[in-house]
Homo-oligomer: A and B are copies of this chain.
Amino acid sequence: MSLDFAILGFLSEADQSGYDLKTRCFDTQARHFWTADQAQVYRTLDRLERDHLVTSRHVAQTAKPSRRVFKLTPSGRDALGEWLSSAHEPPPYRDPFLIQLYFAEHLTDDSLAEVLRESRSFHQQRLGDLRQQLSGLLKGKKRLSRRDEFAQMTLEAAMSTERANIDWLDDALETLRAEAEAQERGSAPQKRLFGLNGDTGGETR
C-alpha cells in the first residue's frame, strides 16, 4: 500500500521507468525510509497502470534496451495528494535484537555484550550511511530547494532514531561493564541494570 504512494510520489517529480525507480529512487534516495525489490517495483507499476493511476509508453533507445516510461495520471495525482494528507499508523515494531535481549538470560554476559556491540555496529553503519546521504544532498548547494529540505528532514529524522539506538546501546554496554567490574571486585553485585529514570509517569519531557 505505502509502496504504491512512494512510487506515485517519485513519478510526480519526473516520468520514469521501473529501472529508474529501482536504481535512482529506492536504492539511493529512499533507502533510509522505504526499500523495494525490483520485482515488486515492476509488479506494482503494472497494478497502478491497471488502476489508471499511471500510464506507460515504450521508448526506444540506441545501444540500450528500450524503456517503458511511466507517467502519473490526474487521478494518480489526486490519489497521491489524498494519501499524503491523511494519517497512517506507523508499522508495528519488529526487531530481532529486542527478542535477543528479552531472552538474554540464556546468554552469558560476554555473549550479551557481543550481541550489543554487533547491534551497535549495525546502527553505526546506518548512521554513517545517513550522514553520507546528507552530505551528498548538501554538496555544492548554498541554498536548498523546498524539495531538498524535505529530503533533508527525512534524513535528520532517521538519524535521530539511529542516534537514540546507539546511545541506548552505549548506556547498556557501560552498565554491563560496570556490573562485571563490581562482580570481579567481589563487592555487592549490582543487580539492577537500569534505574527508572523517572519515566513511569508524567509528561513526555
Query: A205 contacts the other chain (Cβ, under 8 Å)?
Result: yes
How many residues on chain A are close to B (CB under 8 Å)? 84
Query: How many Å lie between the Cα of A108 and that of B93 in the bound state?
Result: 30
Residue of B nearest to A6 (CB): B99
Residues of B within 8 A of A33 (CB): 93-95, 98-99, 102
Interface flags for A84-124 (1: CB within 8 Å of B; 0: not) read: 11011111111111111111111100010011001100111
Query: A156 contacts the other chain (Cβ, under 8 Å)?
Result: yes
Residues of B within 8 A of A124 (CB): 204
Closest beta carbon of chain B to A181's beta carbon, Å: 18
Query: How many Å lie between the Cα of A6 and that of B30 in the bound state?
Result: 30
Query: How many Å lie between the Cα of A204 and that of B123 in the bound state?
Result: 11
22 pairs from A and B in contact (CB 8 Å cutoff):
A5-B96, A12-B106, A33-B98, A34-B94, A35-B94, A84-B104, A87-B118, A88-B96, A89-B122, A90-B119, A101-B150, A105-B147, A134-B199, A134-B200, A138-B200, A149-B194, A153-B194, A156-B168, A156-B199, A157-B172, A160-B164, A166-B204
